[in-house]
Amino acid sequence: MKEETSNNSRRKFLKSFGISVGAAGVVSSFSLIGAAKAAAKKPAEMVNLLTQDGQLVQVDKNQLRPTVTEPLDELQKRGREGIPGKSFVMVIDLSKCRNARKCMAACQNHHQLRADQHHINVLQMQDAEHTAPYFMPKPCQHCDNPPCTKVCPVDATFKRQDGIVLIDNERCIGCRFCIAACPYSARIFQWTEPKDSEKYKDLTYNIEANVPQKKGTVSKCLFSADRLREDKLPSCVSSCPNGVYYFGDRNEDAVTNGTTGETVRFSKLIEENAGYTLMEELGTKPRVYYLPPKNRAFEFNGDLLNEENLH
Amino acid sequence: MNDLPKQKETTLSFEKIKKDILHPMQNHKGLELWIVFLIAVISVCGWAYYIQLKDGLGVTGMRDYVSWGLYIANFVFFVAVSLVGMLISSILGLLRIDWITPISRIAEIIAVAFVAVAGLVIVLDMGRPDRVLNVMIHGRFQSPILWDVTVITTYLTVSALLLILPMIPDLAICKKELTKASPIMKKLYNILSLGYINTPEQHKHLHKMIRTLMVLIVPIGLAIHTVTSWLFAATLRNGWDTTIFGPYFVAGAFVAGAAALIIAMYFFRVNYKLQDYITDLQFDKMGKLLVAVCLVYLYFNLNEFLVPGYKMKTGDDVHLKELFYGHWAIMFWSSQLLGNIIPIILLVYKKFRKPLPIMIISLFVLAGAWFKRYVIVIPTLLHPHLPIQNVPENFVHYYPTAIEVSVTVLSFALVLLIITVLSKIFPVVPIVETAESKGIEVKIDA
């Protein structure tokens, strides 16, 4: 992400909170708490860990301690406020999506989801009978006129100053009105005990990643708000092997490609490629922009044409 | 209104009215068995709800696409039926239509029972019922759910008042006459009758209060079902995104409510031996009323389905095809035909407005009304704007599970229990009003 202009203020901002969440994103999947408990029984067992700079290292399990996180109140407060001065947008280039689904896997890993739970879902689309089919990754559109937050009876889902729509699972009553209200089917519900809930039960709730997930509440794509706080791109964006995703700040007019790392002007990218938003006729004003699936350098290999789940 | 023979009335005296109406309250063995049966049903089905609480809503057939199912359809149905209280005792009462006198209390009892349980059904549907107080603590008045909570509690309160206030003279009678009643009941009658002895002053004040409430409940009644329709109409989904949902739901509610009232009238008439009070006249008039409200509902259905069906807009097209001749066709057409069109045709004939035939027709209307709500809630959720993909097979269909059905049975049993208990402790036909309407002198001892 291009961060030159506001880097200083941003650094200060982050420091003032005392960053210690750094490793949380990387190691959460290893569950340090669980590992530390296990260590009491089996001494001198080594585990592989990925450090922040991408090195794979071996550590004695006895040395592992749970990541020190902010207290819940602090996480909730800054989670509701958002990152000042930012206006996050995503651009999805449909001409590049080959249905690799690395985005879906990374997202499910980050947000502790099962394989059938999608914050982002790669759909096979065909707009009309004789038009070309294509793959369309569909995250939450983080609408500027969000139908979901309007209907929430308890302000559990809300829009922040940086444009991200979040869910507070400490407050959600599970009425599922927001699921009914979302025209993009972007929201999911934890119908049963979430994946690995036993393992993560002692983890402090982080509203910006919506983990640990909670039974009986709603979840959805958050643009990996916890990673944005660390100046990282969302999980789906960084994991794409095909250069489909751009992510950045509309205020800076800059978006960065998650695969190539290349930063381009947002307005120019949209203008030159005839970018559009999904179902703009509904008036939801999405923050996710799509570039049309033209000039594709690969064959559409989906089984769409055999499927009847099209409409 | 004088089209039926009334020779029986001449034999009625105030003493006889009191005896006829109060007698079944204390001498009905079957009623106690029925209460025990309902409590047993509630306990067994309560177990199903316990499992849902423990394991989460995953024990239901609902999944990420059909995220509202049987419970919400049932909720809408209950709210609809409860509107009969406002229709009968308020709208017709304000118009001073006199044939409603013997059935107005049954209408209010139905209203109170259904709206109270409707509120509970919403809690049964919640993923986190333990956080229900968040609606008070963090309530946002921009959400239609808050409006719904407000109007449902208001409607319940005003309906309960409209049940109790007109009953005060009768309760004063109960206090005197029901000598076999338990001490608790005697105390209840004593408290609720508020020392009423039918002085002209008391009579004037009471009727002033009742009329004020009757006016008040009209906007509240309209609001309760209009707001319930907005839970759907406030979304951007095919089939729900329509502007006539408010009046469409209100019209449908009158149909469901009138049918429920006719069924209840029939059962009280037979079981409580109230043939002299809930007469053929009441069934005949209710039959005509049911035809009228069914015609209004038919008109709204024409608008709701014919107009989008004519255009077949993208999105609507899949939804409407599924309703008209797809997966939902049988349910859709039977609710329209058996629950509305055929009853209209039959009830035009006088012989079908006799108690037994009209009760059977009303059973179809009420069942049709229930399935109509099911068809309003679920198919729309199965036809979202974007395709349903990469999810397990059971996300693409919706079939209620045994747990869901049990919890729904629980809500029905609870409604019936409330109606039964209210009709056991309170006279189901107004004693004093009936006597007054027949010009019989009323005497209430201090």
The confidence band for A26, taking pLDDT boundaries of 50, 70 and 90, is: very low
Q: What is the pLDDT of residue A311?
A: 43
The confidence band for B233, taking pLDDT boundaries of 50, 70 and 90, is: very high
Cβ partners under 8 Å of residue B409, min gap 6: B41, B45
- Judged by CB atoms closer than 8 Å, whether chains meet at A181 and B385 is answered as no
The confidence band for A304, taking pLDDT boundaries of 50, 70 and 90, is: low
Cβ atoms B398, B388 nearer than 8 A: no
**B189-209 average pLDDT score:** 89
**B371-375 average pLDDT score:** 96
Q: What is the pLDDT of residue B13?
A: 84
- Judged by CB atoms closer than 8 Å, whether chains meet at A147 and B135 is answered as no
**Cα B190–B178–B14 angle (5° rounding)?**
100
Pick from B345, B368, B427, B446: nearest CA to B104: B427
Tell me which of A149, A152, A176, A213 to substitute to probe the interface with B (most B C-beta atoms closer than 10 Å). Answer: A176
The 8 Å CB, 24+ separation contacts for A56-62 are A61/A35, A61/A36
Q: Is B96 at the interface with chain A, CB within 8 A?
A: no
Q: What is the pLDDT of residue A69?
A: 67
- Judged by CB atoms closer than 8 Å, whether chains meet at A185 and B135 is answered as no
Q: How far is A265 from chain B (nearest CA, A)?
A: 30
- Judged by CB atoms closer than 8 Å, whether chains meet at B138 and A279 is answered as no
Residues of B in contact with A193 (CB under 8 A): 55-56
Residues of A in contact with B70 (CB under 8 A): none
Pick from B354, B91, B373: nearest CA to B252: B373
In the numeric block, the tokens 């919890």 are attached to: B407
**B45-70 average pLDDT score:** 96
Task: For residue B318, give the nearest of A192, A215, A311 by CB distance.
Answer: A311
Task: For residue A154, give the nearest of B60, B134, B387 by CB distance.
Answer: B134
The answer on pLDDT for A64 being more than 70 is no
DSSP state of A99: -
**A23-28 average pLDDT score:** 41
**Alpha-helical runs (H) found in chain A:** 7-16, 22-27, 32-39, 72-81, 102-110, 147-151, 177-181, 225-229, 235-239, 266-272
Task: Count CA within 13 A, CB hemisphere, residue B151.
Answer: 23
Tokens encoding B110:
């139905």
Task: For residue A189, give the nearest of B67, B132, B149 by CB distance.
Answer: B67
Q: What is the pLDDT of residue B24?
A: 81
Domains observed in chain A: 85-291 (3.30.70.20)
Q: Is B135 at the interface with chain A, CB within 8 A?
A: yes
Residues of B in contact with A153 (CB under 8 A): 135, 139-140, 143, 145-146, 149
Residues of B in contact with A303 (CB under 8 A): none
Q: What is the pLDDT of residue B175?
A: 85
CA gap B248, B311 in Å, rounded: 20
Q: What is the pLDDT of residue A3?
A: 42
The answer on pLDDT for A38 being more than 70 is no
**B335-339 average pLDDT score:** 96
Pick from B301, B254, B284: nearest CA to B348: B284
The confidence band for B1, taking pLDDT boundaries of 50, 70 and 90, is: very low
Read off the pLDDT of residues A120-165 as tens digits, 9 standing for 90 and up: 999 999 998 888 999 999 999 999 999 999 999 999 999 999 999 9
| pLDDT-above-70 percentage for chain A | 80
CA gap B435, B437 in Å, rounded: 5
Q: What is the pLDDT of residue A302?
A: 80
Read off the pLDDT of residues A230-243 as tens digits, 9 standing for 90 and up: 999 999 999 999 99
**Cα A145–A231–A68 angle (5° rounding)?**
105
Q: Where are the beta strands (DSSP E) in A160-280?
A: 165-167, 187-189, 218-220, 245-249, 254-257, 263-265, 276-277
Q: What is the pLDDT of residue A11?
A: 46
Task: Count CA within 13 A, CB hemisphere, residue B23.
Answer: 10
Read off the pLDDT of residues B112-158 as tens digits, 9 standing for 90 and up: 999 999 999 999 999 999 999 999 999 999 999 999 999 999 999 99
Read off the pLDDT of residues B11-20 as tens digits, 9 standing for 90 and up: 678 888 888 8
Cβ partners under 8 Å of residue B380, min gap 6: B232, B237, B238, B239, B240, B319
Read off the pLDDT of residues A187-201 as tens digits, 9 standing for 90 and up: 999 999 999 888 888
The answer on pLDDT for B180 being more than 70 is yes
Residue A228 to residues A87, A89, B278, Cα–Cα distance (Å): 12, 12, 71
Q: What is the pLDDT of residue A44?
A: 64
Task: For residue A151, give the nearest of B127, B144, B388 by CB distance.
Answer: B144
- Judged by CB atoms closer than 8 Å, whether chains meet at A123 and B235 is answered as no
Find the closest chain A residue to B144 by CA distance: A151
Residue B224 to residues A119, A153, B355, Cα–Cα distance (Å): 35, 17, 30
Tokens encoding B140:
């946002």
Tokens encoding B397:
């269909």
- Give me the CATH topology for the region B8-437: Formate dehydrogenase/DMSO reductase fold (1.20.1630)
CA gap B114, B108 in Å, rounded: 10
Q: A206 phi and psi, to 5 degrees?
A: -110, 105
Q: What is the pLDDT of residue A17?
A: 42
- Chain B from 61 to 80: CB within 8 A of any A CB: 62-65, 67-68
Find the closest chain B residue to A119 by CA distance: B64
Q: What is the pLDDT of residue A62?
A: 65
**B357-385 average pLDDT score:** 96
Q: How far is A245 from chain B (nearest CA, A)?
A: 20
Q: How far is B391 from chain A (nearest CA, A)?
A: 5
Read off the pLDDT of residues B404-424 as tens digits, 9 standing for 90 and up: 999 999 999 999 999 999 998
Q: What is the pLDDT of residue B197?
A: 86
Q: How far is B384 from chain A (nearest CA, A)?
A: 7
- Judged by CB atoms closer than 8 Å, whether chains meet at A173 and B135 is answered as yes
One-letter amino acid for residue A78 of the chain: R
Q: What is the pLDDT of residue A43?
A: 54
- What's the pTM value of the predicted model, to 2 decimals? 0.88
- Judged by CB atoms closer than 8 Å, whether chains meet at A125 and B57 is answered as no
- B45's enclosing H/E stretch is helix B29-55
DSSP state of A206: B
CA gap A6, B422 in Å, rounded: 69
The answer on pLDDT for A263 being more than 60 is yes
The confidence band for B198, taking pLDDT boundaries of 50, 70 and 90, is: confident
Comparison of pLDDT for A293 and A63, the residue scoring more:
A293
Q: How far is A288 from chain B (nearest CA, A)?
A: 15
Residues B109, B111, B113, B116, CA torsion sign: negative
Beta bridge partners of A137: A122
CA gap B84, B90 in Å, rounded: 9
Tokens encoding A242:
């095909």
Read off the pLDDT of residues B263-322 as tens digits, 9 standing for 90 and up: 999 999 998 889 989 999 999 999 999 999 999 999 999 999 999 999 999 889 999 999
One-letter amino acid for residue A290 of the chain: Y
The confidence band for B6, taking pLDDT boundaries of 50, 70 and 90, is: very low
Q: What is the pLDDT of residue A60?
A: 76
> Which of A291-300, B243-252, B339-348 shows the lowest mean pLDDT across its residues?
A291-300
Q: For chain A, what percentages of helix, strand and coil (3-state, to nearest 5) are there? A: 25, 20, 55
Q: How far is B381 from chain A (nearest CA, A)?
A: 7
One-letter amino acid for residue B100 of the chain: I
Comparison of pLDDT for B101 and A70, the residue scoring more:
B101
Find the closest chain A residue to B123 by CA distance: A175
Domain ranges of chain B: 8-437
Q: What is the pLDDT of residue A14?
A: 43
Pick from A144, A236, A155, A147: nearest CA to A186: A147
Q: Is B219 at the interface with chain A, CB within 8 A?
A: no
Q: What is the pLDDT of residue A305?
A: 55
Q: What is the pLDDT of residue B11?
A: 64
Q: How far is A292 from chain B (nearest CA, A)?
A: 17
One-letter amino acid for residue B372 of the chain: K
One-letter amino acid for residue A93 of the chain: D
CA gap A296, B43 in Å, rounded: 62
**B188-209 average pLDDT score:** 89
CA gap B106, B97 in Å, rounded: 16
- Judged by CB atoms closer than 8 Å, whether chains meet at B395 and A122 is answered as no
- Judged by CB atoms closer than 8 Å, whether chains meet at A184 and B386 is answered as yes
Q: Other CB atoms closer than 10 Å to residue B110's CB: what's the count?
A: 26
| ipTM (interface predicted TM) | 0.91
Strand-strand pairing, A288-291 and A88-93: parallel
Tell me which of A76, A126, A191, A277 to substitute to probe the interface with B (most B C-beta atoms closer than 10 Å). Answer: A191
What string of DSSP letters covers B349-385? SGGGGSHHHHHHHHHHHHHHHHHHHHHHHHHHHHS-S
- Judged by CB atoms closer than 8 Å, whether chains meet at A153 and B146 is answered as yes
CA gap A154, A172 in Å, rounded: 7
Q: What is the pLDDT of residue A208?
A: 95
Read off the pLDDT of residues B320-330 as tens digits, 9 standing for 90 and up: 999 999 999 99
Q: Is B383 at the interface with chain A, CB within 8 A?
A: yes
Residues of B in contact with A151 (CB under 8 A): 143-145, 234-235
Residues of A in contact with B149 (CB under 8 A): 153
- Judged by CB atoms closer than 8 Å, whether chains meet at A309 and B387 is answered as yes
Q: Average pLDDT over chain B, rounded to whole?
A: 92
Cβ partners under 8 Å of residue A308, min gap 6: none
Beta bridge partners of A60: A46
Tell me which of A99, A121, A154, A205 to substitute to probe the interface with B (most B C-beta atoms closer than 10 Å). Answer: A154
The answer on pLDDT for A41 being more than 60 is no
